[in-house]
Structure 1
Amino acid sequence: MSTLTVHQVRRRYLVLHGLRWLPVGLVIPVIILLMQERGLSLTQIGLAAAAQGLLVLALELPTGGLADALGRRPVLVVAAVVNLASTGLLVVADTFALLVAVWALQGVYRALDSGPLEAWYVDATLAADPDAAYEKGLAQGGTVLGLCIAAGALLSGGLVALGPLGPVSALTTPVVVAVALQLVSLVALVALLVETRPAAGSGALRSSVAEVPRMVGQAFGLLRRSRVLAALVAVELFWGFGMVTFETMLPVRLAEVVGDADRAAALLGPASTVAWLASAGAAALVPLLTRRLGAPAGAVLLHVVQGVTVVGMALLAGPVGVLVAYFLCYAVHGAANPVYKGLVHRQVDGPHRTSVLSLTSMVAMPSAAAGGVLLGAVADRASVSTAMLAGAVALALAAVGYLPAWRAARRTTAPAGPGADASGTDAATVVPGPRGASMPPALRE
């Protein structure tokens, strides 16, 4: 794949991963309040965001197959350009139709972006050293993600606190800065991500596109052959739906408690920084958790606890209580994400890695879109707290999807029996993969 060493691959992955998420940190604290400032209700916001989920549903697998067939680098470059267009449009979008267009472009971007960088990192690491533990880099990626979003959120809060800059409103200023950072990310992507692929050209492109249906079909074949992988993909149904509570509902809930949208936005900057620092710290502690409990058991615990933290955000009366629950929620989220990714990677081999990651995103994004519409409607008609309680139930139910992986991990410590391979793992539930894809009782992230 390249002449890079394991350490070089990891460093480049972490730099690109951080630059990808830094602009997101700027936008997260203001996006919902910005759309409300431009006249949208929560129901309309949910409908606009649904455009993202629908396009991800339509494009996720084809773009994942394209990345596996054509190469991760060209797909990521196109994704970065689309992201720039989306964020640039957000700066000026002041109608429901334009905001739908913003979210539609985000859907195209998310379909192109989900998976290729992570797949490149894992495959480049194994190409440099087949025995390398790529899990360490994925866990570090979770820490970098949290730190970069925290830094972006802190900057966002500061920019909002400065107030309007000429014709640019206080809530729009962080979006303008995010556009500039996305340009930096695109330049770094072109410079740092290298991969060895067949010769480029129109013939190579046509051949790669023709390979997409086969890659997609094989990705679905992995689900049919692996009960563990199928259940892990199903986790995203509940997780995606429930994440609306702390990604979309929390800013509204805080504004409700504080009594002022601009004050809530200013608070969300430093609050998001603390939340993402908690996420980064929790991601760094994942190896300790998985050594103590095992990855599947740890994931079950984390999802149940995350549901409890959302209940706290919904029911606690003052801003301090709401924010403490928010911090705990993101700490749990920061730990759960790398555990989940590690479990998925252990169930798939390199040629289909992006396609399978796209499968998980294909499930998550429409589920999040449905959550945005349904929970947004509940919030408008009942209350934000009621909507958050419904989302908390969905987050806790995501834990059920880890049970097949938990059973497989427990069998690795039991004597081999009928239907088990030499390690005690049910051979019918395991897809061959790098360094063996049997489910270890503890994963690095």
Structure 2
Amino acid sequence: MSLRRRFLLLTALRWLPTGLVVPVMALLPLHRGMTVAEMGAALAVQGIVVLCLELPTGGLADTVGRRPLFALAATLALFSYLAFAVAAAPLALALAAALSGVFRALDSGALNAWFVDQVHAGSAPEEREGLVTSGLGAASGAIGGSIAAGSVLSAGLVAWAPWGTTSALVLPFLGAAVLSLLQIVATGLLMDEPPRRGPRRLAPVRDTAHAVRAGLGLLAGSRVLRALVAVELFWGFGMVSFETLMPVRLAELLGDADRAAATMGPVVAAGWATAALGAAAVPHLTRRWGLVSVALRILQGATVVAMGLALGPVGLVVGYLATYGVHMASGVAYESLLHRQVAGPHRATVLSLASMAMQPAGSLGSVVLGALATGASSGLAIAVGGVVLALAAPLFLVRARCARTAEGPRQPAGPFRRVTVSRFLEWTSVESSRTPARP
């Protein structure tokens, strides 16, 4: 089986369980008698755990290896889904959320870093960028398709419920646990990786700390990398508007919370299917990811604002689908730019840095936009989230520092390709700061 097919299969197995549990994640605790406040506080543990572990686990993936971390993440995912299935009290739900946070931190960037490393190891330098971009775009499409399929499957399991209504909301979690077991097996069979050499005992801990310091050093020394990581702050804040507030707004427009809950399943599936199409299409548009990222981020902000301004459920759903169509496409462009700024030994660490920046921003967005939705309206809160999301666009126009040469005037520190749309873009575009991919 080719590298691309293995990568896509592993990606699909990773995200199919997520599609299964997303439609029922909030419903099961409420069905068991927990309040919304208790459920929210318990689930917030996941974000705290991810924030604390994201960077160390990224460094661990760069030192111990991508495959061991990905297999361990799938194992913990299995236990977390089982914990969710039996959690009947807030403390038990918090424990399940903590396990979920650990597995998400462990697998953050490991699979994608493995794919990029394999492409760099097995292809000519001039082919690497195209193969990486195409593979990441296909993977984003696989993510969207898997979550959409999982959402449909979840609805089918709930409707089937062979042991009565008591088990209906539990079945998707049990199905997710089975799929996690399949992911563990597939990881062992499909994810080949050269063994990491070195002394045993404390070597992984020492090397992980070194990888973390090196990743932070890369971040401190690169204006472009700092700008790209900062994009996650705006993105994490803005995503709350269409991920968390969408069901609230739909319930307001429909005037019936139960009807909104029944509608969200198909809408979520359609949204991720649209996202898959957008992700699959964007790599074929252009290779000027700096300009494409600016346009996509502004467009996504506009679609979210349109969601907030929608006066009826149809307009809200159309805006939601448009938002997700741009969402994954923007993610492909973003990750392609991120991979250009880092070499293989630090790839997972830098991906974890970017992911880690999203966690506090998402928490802040939940608090600020939630308060705005309560004090004013959910539509206004969604629109504000869209504006904040679009504010990240100028960060894609940051260029690397110039170096003064002995021969004369300042020159770009590397073989940069300039964008000639205008003098401003010539001196500020990320395109001008792109360095060649390194193995």
TM-score by length of 1: 0.86
State the 1:36 CA deviation. 4.2
2-structure distance, mates of 1:36, 1:371: 23
Q: What SS is found at the alignment partner of 1:419?
A: strand
Deviations 1:225-276 (A, max 9, x none): 2111110000000101111122222123223333444433332222222111
Q: Check 1:260–1:191 CA distance in 2 against 1; reply closer, same or farther (3 A cut).
A: farther
State the 1:171 CA deviation. 3.7
State the 1:38 CA deviation. 4.4
Equivalent residue for 2:141, pick from 140, 143, 146: 143
Q: Which residue of 2 aligns with 1:331?
A: 325
Contact 1:16 1:189 in 2 (8 A): yes
2-structure distance, mates of 1:72, 1:245: 33
2-structure distance, mates of 1:34, 1:352: 40
Q: Which residue of 1 aligns with 2:216?
A: 220
Q: Name the aligned partner's letter for residue 225 of structure 2.
A: L
Q: Which residue of 2 aligns with 1:390?
A: 384
Q: Check 1:424–1:139 CA distance in 2 against 1; reply closer, same or farther (3 A cut).
A: closer
2-structure distance, mates of 1:367, 1:38: 30
1-structure distance, mates of 2:308, 2:174: 32
Q: Which runs of 5+ in 1 are unaligned?
A: 1-6, 409-415, 437-445
Equivalent residue for 2:114, pick from 117, 120, 138: 120
Q: Which residue of 1 aligns with 2:242?
A: 246
State the 1:424 CA deviation. 5.3
Q: Which residue of 1 aligns with 2:416?
A: 423
2-structure distance, mates of 1:377, 1:168: 34
Equivalent residue for 2:370, pick from 367, 376, 382: 376
Q: Name the aligned partner's letter for residue 275 of structure 1.
A: G
Q: Which residue of 1 aligns with 2:24?
A: 30
State the 1:400 CA deviation. 2.7
Q: Check 1:47–1:148 CA distance in 2 against 1; reply closer, same or farther (3 A cut).
A: same
Matches for 1:101-112 after TM superposition, within 5 Å: 101-112=95-106
Contact 2:238 2:365 in 1 (8 A): yes
Aligned residue pairs, count: 418
Equivalent residue for 1:290, pick from 277, 286, 291: 286
Q: What SS is found at the alignment partner of 1:204?
A: coil
1-structure distance, mates of 2:387, 2:317: 20
1-structure distance, mates of 2:268, 2:239: 15
Contact 1:240 1:367 in 2 (8 A): yes
1-structure distance, mates of 2:54, 2:234: 18
Contact 2:373 2:379 in 1 (8 A): yes
Q: Which runs of 5+ in 2 are unaligned?
A: 402-407, 419-426
> Does 360-369 or 257-266 show the bigger shift?
257-266
Matches for 1:196-275 after TM superposition, within 5 Å: 196-198=194-196, 203-204=199-200, 206-275=202-271
1-structure distance, mates of 2:95, 2:61: 24
1-structure distance, mates of 2:398, 2:34: 42
Deviations 1:40-97 (A, max 9, x none): 5655554333322222221111111111011111111111111112221111223332
Contact 1:254 1:319 in 2 (8 A): yes
2-structure distance, mates of 1:289, 1:68: 32
Equivalent residue for 1:153, pick from 135, 151, 154: 151
What is the root-mean-square deviation in Å for CA atoms of aligned residues? 2.8
Q: Name the aligned partner's letter for residue 87 of structure 1.
A: Y
Q: What SS is found at the alignment partner of 2:391?
A: helix
Matches for 1:348-387 after TM superposition, within 5 Å: 348-387=342-381
Q: Check 1:346–1:98 CA distance in 2 against 1; reply closer, same or farther (3 A cut).
A: same
Higher relative contact order, chain-length normalized (CA < 8 Å, sep 6+): 1
Q: Check 1:101–1:374 CA distance in 2 against 1; reply closer, same or farther (3 A cut).
A: farther
1-structure distance, mates of 2:271, 2:376: 27
Contact 2:132 2:336 in 1 (8 A): no
> Does 89-98 or 277-286 show the bigger shift?
89-98
State the 1:303 CA deviation. 1.5
Matches for 1:41-52 after TM superposition, within 5 Å: 44-52=38-46
Deviations 1:281-304 (A, max 9, x none): 11111124334xx21121112122
State the 1:164 CA deviation. 8.0
Deviations 1:287-333 (A, max 9, x none): 24334xx2112111212222222223223232222111111010010
> Does 35-44 or 357-366 show the bigger shift?
35-44
Q: Which residue of 2 aligns with 1:315?
A: 309
State the 1:10 CA deviation. 1.4
Q: Check 1:46–1:235 CA distance in 2 against 1; reply closer, same or farther (3 A cut).
A: farther
Q: Which residue of 1 aligns with 2:47?
A: 53
Contact 2:304 2:323 in 1 (8 A): yes
State the 1:343 CA deviation. 0.3
